[in-house]
Structure 1
Amino acid sequence: MNSALRNSVFGTVLFVTLATAANGQTFDLVINNGRVIDPETGFDAIAHVGIVDGEIVEIAQSQLEGEQVIDASGLIVAPGFIDLHSHSVVDLPANRLQAFDGVTTALELESGVLPIADWYASVEAEGRATNFGATASWSFARIATMVPEMPPVEPTAAWYQGAFNYPRWTTNVTTEEELDKIIDLIQQGLDDGALGIGVNSGYVPGVGGKELLRIWELAAENGVPVSTHMRNWSEADPLSSLEGLAMVLGLSATSGARTNICHLHSTNLHDTLKAADMVDKARSIGIDVHTEVYPYGIASMPIASAVLLQAGEAFRARMGIDFDSVRLIAKGRWIEDEADMRAEQDADPGQFIIMRYLDEEDATDADILRKVTALPWIAIASDSIPYTQPDGTPITGEEWPMPDNAFSNPRSAGTYGKFLREWVREDELLDWPEAIAKVSLIPAQLFDGQVPAMERKGRLQEGMDADITVFDPETIGDRATIDRPFETTEGIEYLIVNGTAVISGGEMDTDVLPGKPIRK
């Protein structure tokens, strides 16, 4: 039995002899007395959940018995949270922090990776606390095709970051021969089980519309979604973010490919609410478009990303901020001015930064963030990034807990805790069922009819996968900050992944890694 299961002030785990329900069903794990919420059926009541072989097999009005029994009195029992935008799934310590934030499935959709088969094999060999999956990366394919100086493509963040030493893959239009090779590389990734195509066009201002149309058409041919960081990162015309959004909506409509627009607010800045209105209207006329946001006003990216290479006057006009809104993650300091920015870009072009584009202390900015995050049809996602030491060395392997010198974006540890604390418990912008839909069902629905494995997630019903987040609505909340981004979320009392307790009584069992790969 799991030695980490223990008593806690929020719920009691009891060990009993193997028990059989009145109908003859034997349960591996039982969750009794919790407020069970299923956003798809609208079920919301005190109930009792029985699990066998990683599947929910019974939701009962009467208490159940089993090999392991959790008393969830006073707790909410919800479908496991699904993160559509997790870059930190590549490393086990960061993945465990996401588990502490209630995540049972973490997907790398925006950027994706290549080669897909190698990525799945390496992650599965190391093991993960959560389920995992990825898209086939258009960016990786572009780099592998257009930058002969790069070593053979590897499914790692280090390989991707190294490509920023050769920026032509971000600035140049492809030839027909190059585009054919890019298509072939992506198709191989799809054949190997990728969950769709990741199109990070916000970092590639040189891409043309014809190339993007080929990518969207490829997705439609394969029956998979495109997840995109849209192009034209700017508040100013011409080439504004709203123009880039219109292009994405047009690509989705004309190709027929389902589209997931990543972090709608960070790419539309102070035009976010107008952008949300555009997406809502597109959905109302049948365009198959989805989107997600995170409950922060801070973005992360390599320091040599195209948007940060703009001259000071252009950067200020187009982004609505100055360079002193940029923070070096591993070095733990804010950029002083443009000269400081250029020096850091020359010294270490692949290092990650935080960019504050909406100031949560400013009433206007805070209102934008509050309103877009509360929209009931938009998913919540973290855009989490890996953790590094001050010298930039990634924190990998079995290291746990995270050391006090670990750096990242606080989104990587606190997204779901912050969302539930601030938008639900404190400000009451959403009720619990509405909020749970945004972190479970709505993300899962991105794959409806395309990825059968995801149709068994995001729902708390008989016959669904036993991915379950059990949290205390009175204490759920983030603790991660910019200065201490490694602090775990409070209030996640139990986390069940494929029927196995990863967190019990608020404590993580590092001996179990029940996450499974999710493929097309």
Structure 2
Amino acid sequence: MRFFLATLAIFSTSTALMANDIVIIGGRVIDPETGLDAVRNVAIEGDKIVAISEFPLEGDVVIDATGHVVSPGFIDLHSHGQNIGDYRMQVVQGVTTALELESGIVPVSDWYEDQATKKLPMNYGASAGWTHSRIATFSDTDPLATAAFFTDAQGRTDWKQDIASPEQSERIMSLLEQGLKDGALGIGVNAGYAPGFGHKEYYALAELAKKYNVPTYTHVRYASNTEPQSSFEAIQELISLAAITGAHMHLCHINSTSLSDIKATMALVEKAQAQGINVTTEAYPYGAASTVVGAAMFSGPDWRDRMDSTANNFQLGADRMTEDELADYQANKPGTFIVWHFLDEADPAALSLLDVSVTNPATAIASDSVFWSYFDENGNILQYEGDEWPLPDNVFSHPRSTGTYTKILRSYVRERGVLSLSEAIRKMSLLPAQTLEDSVPQMRTKGRLQVGMDADIVVFDPATVADLATFENANQLTVGVQTVIVNGGFSVRDEELVLDAPNGRAIRNAVVD
């Protein structure tokens, strides 16, 4: 009804006959909030959608979307790659907002100020990083708003396993609270990398989030199919804190942290939500994660049994690792990122387990994209921070860094039919926006294709849209995405990236509104 009235109001004036900045004509327009799914014309003026009509519209720039779907831009709640090349590989598959929420960063103000100096093709934002705060506290250093600050600390075990003293706890909380005051979108709790922290510390994190009306975004402390210290136990802990404190607790990548116990953990989340407990979650459509080889979960005498993995489940570059290589990297290069194959998608039983998380109506789609890397002349792995386009041939990453959303459209919608097109779009746009909108007013005008909403729009061909990235060669661009508009400006046009498109804007919490 809201869509109908807004459209009717527009067409009762002469606005409909005036030329708009951009008009998208003849596409199948899908808005997951109002249920609109019909051929319509869309007009954009400035950074807003100003008309949606079955009648002709005029525009300075006309995009012919015949045979294509016109959708709200996709919103990624879990995107670690925050360099220009990372953003470009995301936007070409239709992502218009990419947020670093699981790990987060501190100092938050430094990061936002640095991002604002760049010409970014999509919206960006971050949480305040608990792991960064813990590393800085235990090493008695000042935190740096970089991924390297996290990876370089992987050789230390104190911040991963030790209970914080009262003085250390005070500094950790102070760093995080300052981050929230500087606009962070919540608190990133990467507990899987520091599982030895205290329960009182986690409780304090939830209390701080509740105080500022922002979520926590948790990679839970355990990943194990067996008890004790199981995935089930860790997710139960998260839910209990949400129930006790009233904080919004977001559970990151329930697929990879649950391993093969996903049916039990997903049922936990469903029951919590049914009782009104403020728990949300996400998943990505791959049976493989990306993590550092020295992560705490890959330690202890029984980790292989608990996680049903060996060195052969780890992939570095194009090759699987041997046990000798694994031991060497864990001892000497623990911050090295590897791909961890926790489920074999070629196995129908394993794929069905992955589908439990991806297709659940309560699960948003998020990529957990990682930055693009390369080997230097000495065999060291470095982040690619250049602006060459396409990316250099020698860079590598996880295929989810450029294929998550188009894989959903290809595999889950077109080929296997386990999601309808409208449901897939809801899980990639509206649901992520709704996850944040209580604490981030900017998200109330994103994830929708309605009059008055932000002009973050993707136009794609449902018959050809596809991910081409593989684990052996992730550096392959998605296909079938015709147009991506961010805040009313082109970031992708005629299936080509618009270089140096300055359309991205900072997304921050309501504290700094």
| TM > 0.5 fold call | yes
Specify the SS of the correspondent of 2:289.
Answer: strand
Distance in 1, matches of 2:18 and 2:444, equals 25
Distance in 1, matches of 2:271 and 2:467, equals 33
1:78 counterpart = 2:71: yes
Among 342, 345, 357, the alignment partner of 2:342 is 357
Equivalent pair of 1:33/1:63 in contact (CA under 8 Å)? no
Match of 2:425 in 1: 436
Match of 1:112 in 2: 104
Distance in 2, matches of 1:396 and 1:355, equals 24
The CA deviation string for residues 80-106 of structure 1, in whole angstroms up to 9 with x for no partner, is: 000000001x21011100011110000
1:503 counterpart = 2:492: yes
Distance in 2, matches of 1:450 and 1:193, equals 11
1:318 counterpart = 2:318: no
CA shift in 2, pair 1:389/1:21, >3 Å: farther
1:204 counterpart = 2:194: yes
1:163 counterpart = 2:172: no
Among 98, 101, 117, the alignment partner of 2:90 is 98
Among 48, 59, 62, the alignment partner of 1:55 is 48
1:418 counterpart = 2:410: no
Among 295, 302, 309, the alignment partner of 2:299 is 309
User: Displacement of 1:159 after TM fit?
Assistant: 1.4
Task: Choose 97-106 or 23-32, whichever is displaced more.
Answer: 23-32
Specify the SS of the correspondent of 2:382.
Answer: coil
The CA deviation string for residues 432-462 of structure 1, in whole angstroms up to 9 with x for no partner, is: 1111000000000111221100111000001
**Structure 2 matches for 1:54-453, cutoff 5 A?**
54-88=47-81, 90-148=82-140, 150=141, 152-311=142-301, 314-329=302-317, 332-337=318-323, 339-391=324-376, 392-453=381-442
Specify the SS of the correspondent of 2:459.
Answer: strand
RMSD: 1.3
1:36 counterpart = 2:29: yes
Distance in 2, matches of 1:65 and 1:511, equals 28
Specify the SS of the correspondent of 1:133.
Answer: strand
User: Displacement of 1:414 after TM fit?
Assistant: 0.4
Query: Aligned AA for 2:257?
Result: T
Match of 1:469 in 2: 458
Return the TM-score normalized by structure 2.
0.94
The CA deviation string for residues 166-216 of structure 1, in whole angstroms up to 9 with x for no partner, is: 221001010111111111100000000001110001111211111000000
The CA deviation string for residues 367-416 of structure 1, in whole angstroms up to 9 with x for no partner, is: 11123211122100100000011232221132111111111111101001
Equivalent pair of 1:21/1:65 in contact (CA under 8 Å)? no
Distance in 2, matches of 1:161 and 1:307, equals 15
Return the TM-score normalized by structure 1.
0.93
User: Displacement of 1:24 after TM fit?
Assistant: 5.5
The CA deviation string for residues 244-285 of structure 1, in whole angstroms up to 9 with x for no partner, is: 110000011111111110000100100012111110111001
The CA deviation string for residues 318-365 of structure 1, in whole angstroms up to 9 with x for no partner, is: 101212101124xx321111x321211222111101100011112221
Query: Aligned AA for 1:303?
Result: V
Specify the SS of the correspondent of 1:281.
Answer: helix
User: Displacement of 1:66 after TM fit?
Assistant: 1.1
Query: Aligned AA for 2:371?
Result: P
Equivalent pair of 1:390/1:407 in contact (CA under 8 Å)? no
Matched pairs, number: 493
Distance in 2, matches of 1:194 and 1:22, equals 38
Specify the SS of the correspondent of 1:518.
Answer: coil
Match of 1:11 in 2: none
Distance in 2, matches of 1:446 and 1:22, equals 34
Match of 2:8 in 1: none
Match of 1:6 in 2: none
Specify the SS of the correspondent of 1:301.
Answer: strand
Equivalent pair of 1:404/1:484 in contact (CA under 8 Å)? no
Equivalent pair of 2:16/2:57 in contact (CA under 8 Å)? no
CA shift in 2, pair 1:270/1:411, >3 Å: same
Runs (4 or more) in structure 1 with deviation over 3 Å come to 20-26
Specify the SS of the correspondent of 1:355.
Answer: strand
CA shift in 2, pair 1:155/1:62, >3 Å: same
User: Displacement of 1:45 after TM fit?
Assistant: 0.7
Unaligned runs of 5+ in 1: 1-19
CA shift in 2, pair 1:309/1:397, >3 Å: same
Equivalent pair of 2:413/2:420 in contact (CA under 8 Å)? yes
Specify the SS of the correspondent of 1:239.
Answer: coil
Query: Aligned AA for 1:119?
Result: W
Equivalent pair of 1:26/1:52 in contact (CA under 8 Å)? no
Distance in 2, matches of 1:168 and 1:92, equals 33
Distance in 2, matches of 1:35 and 1:282, equals 36
Distance in 2, matches of 1:475 and 1:230, equals 37
User: Displacement of 1:21 after TM fit?
Assistant: 6.3
Distance in 1, matches of 2:416 and 2:232, equals 29
CA shift in 2, pair 1:422/1:21, >3 Å: farther
Match of 1:10 in 2: none
User: Displacement of 1:25 after TM fit?
Assistant: 4.2
Query: Aligned AA for 1:83?
Result: D
The CA deviation string for residues 28-67 of structure 1, in whole angstroms up to 9 with x for no partner, is: 1111111000000101111111111110111111121111
